[in-house]
Amino acid sequence: MTYCFAPAPVRSLAIADSEQRFPVNRIFCVGRNYAEHAREMGKDPEREAPFFFMKPAQAVLDCASPALMHYPPQTNNLHHEVELVVAIATGGRDIAAADALSHVFGYAVGLDMTRRDLQNTAKNAGRPWEFGKAFAQSAPMGVLHTVHSVGHIDNARIQLQVNASVRQDSNIDQLIWSVAESIAQLSMFEALEPGDLIMTGTPAGVAAVVPGDVMLAAIDGLGAIEVQVA
């Protein structure tokens, strides 16, 4: 097969203790999946079913080592959102929650960076808000740790610091929809495929960063990633 120009490069993530890399297919994100974050965004977490949005594979910023993220254009309000990332190894449709974790390859620390002003403007106008979420380097991610090496992450501290000051601090057990439930719900709408990533939501404490800030995002058992905003 020949192409009229070279295809886009495959985005991938490093795998702990392996020379292989995980090829990224699609990035699904669970919205408002911690009760306190839902409340700080003005929503009632007790009444809302899970919803999903997407980022392109091109959003991935490899943070296997300290990384530099360029402040994106057309925003004055860039927010950090630390999240547990779930990597899918085997796909499927209408996956039962009881079987969902068998589809997981591993876990990583991630950041859902958000142009909050663009997102809010689009929301208020009743328009799609991809430009608030789906932009280059908007998904910094660390090394993937396989299920074989770390098990399933369901009770672990999740934290984000900016310039050594704690902004977000919670536990994965506070997810409204668990990893298994999120996989099951998502697979009802879209058949999952190997290489898909699911960003499972962020706890309370989201706030703005500016050029020069250094973010340190960590989840117990998965290490930390360091990202400087340039």
3-state secondary structure 110-146: EECCEEHHHHHHHHHCCCCCHHHHCCCCCEEECCEEE
How far CA 173 is from CA of 62, 70, 84, 214, in Å, comes to 26, 32, 11, 27
| Six token digits for residue 119 | 């997102």
CA 80 to chain centre: 11
* 11, part of any domain: no
Q: Hey, is 100 helix, strand or coil?
A: helix
pLDDT score recorded for residue 45: 64
The Cα 51–Cα 185 span in angstroms is 9
pLDDT in tens, 182-217: 999 999 999 999 999 999 999 999 999 999 999 999
Q: What distance in Å separates the CA atoms of residue 116 and residue 74, rounded to the nearest whole number?
A: 11
For residue 49, the model assigns a pLDDT of 78
Find out whether 214 and 151 touch, Cβ atoms under 8 Å: no
Say yes or no to pLDDT of 47 above 60. no
User: Does the residue 2 lie in any domain?
Assistant: no
Report the CATH number that the domain containing residue 28 is assigned in CATH.
Answer: 3.90.850.10
7: in domain: no
| DSSP tally for the chain: helices H, then strands E | 6, 18
Could you give the dihedral angle defined by the CA atoms of residues 110, 28, 48 and 43, in that order, rounded to the nearest 10 degrees? 50
Position 142 pLDDT exceeds 60 = yes
Domains in the chain: how many in total? 1
CB atoms under 10 Å from CB of 197, counted, come to 27
Amino acid at 59: A
Parallel/antiparallel/unpaired status of strands 197-199 and 27-30: parallel
Residue 9 domain flag: no
pLDDT higher than 90, residue 68: yes
Across 98-122, average pLDDT:
97
| Any domain includes 5 | no
In this structure, the number of other CB atoms found within 10 A of the CB of residue 62 comes to 17
Q: What is the pTM of this model?
A: 0.95
Whether 97 is in a domain gets the answer yes
13 within domain boundaries: no
Note down the domain range covering 61.
19-229
Place of tokens 């050594």: 164
Residue 34, pLDDT score: 85
Query: What residues have CB less than 8 Å from 230, skipping those under 6 apart?
Result: 68, 69, 70, 71, 211, 212
Interatomic CA distance for residues 143 and 147, integer angstroms: 13
Q: Which of 20-34, 46-60, 159-173 has the lowest mean pLDDT?
A: 46-60
Residue 96 lies in a domain: yes
